[in-house]
Amino acid sequence: MPWKNGAGTTIEIAVFPAQVGLDDFVWRVSRAQVVANGGFSHFAGIDRSLALLQGAGMRLDIGGVNHQVDLHHNIVTFAGDVSLHAELISGPISDFNLMSRRSACHHQLNHWIGPAMRSLSVDTVLLYCAQGSGTLITEKSVCNVNADEAVQFAEDDNLAECQLKSSDDSRFYCVQIHG
């Protein structure tokens, strides 16, 4: 779908509630290609987290404060209603975006790298595999998750016993929604 400002496109991974537009979501997860320097879409009342998936990264001017998103500084969180300008470091990038409506909830984005056995928190709503693979293990099932795949959890899923066993070369993003 087109970006709100029309300067690019995004692939929506998940939105809550389902089937709502950009003006009505409580939280939203997407990924996008950024191919040129420029401003970000304005989202009043929305908090955002952005993470680098591929490429060298970008420098962000967020309301006059400089940030860099690259392999070493992978996640930046900011208000969607603040003026933001992006400058690519060395060519196009792909990024992961998490947005939540400030009046309804707040979010946390975790970046998990490499092999481990991780327990999922009860407020986890989505896992995205950016690279490699992992196995999601629950009391009742085992599910493989590969690169560029996501698993969305329903509100009534019991995550108390859910674990992710990730591969050596894996990179996962874990989305948690609080409130």
pLDDT digits (tens, 9 = 90+) for 76-92: 999 999 999 999 999 99
pLDDT of amino acid 159: 85
CATH 3.90.950.20 fits 107-178, yes or no: no
- pTM of the predicted protein model: 0.93
Q: Which residue has the tokens 């939203």?
A: 28
User: Average pLDDT in the 124-138 region?
Assistant: 96
pLDDT of amino acid 152: 95
- Residue 77 tokens read as 């969180």
Q: Write out the CATH class of domain 10-103.
A: mainly beta
Please say whether the beta carbons of 33 and 53 come within 8 A. no
pLDDT of amino acid 167: 96
pLDDT digits (tens, 9 = 90+) for 35-77: 899 988 899 999 999 999 999 999 999 999 999 999 888 999 9
DSSP string covering 43-65: -TTEEEEEEEEESS-EEEEETTE
Residues of the chain with CATH 2.60.120.10: 10-103, 107-178
The confidence band for 104, taking pLDDT boundaries of 50, 70 and 90, is very high
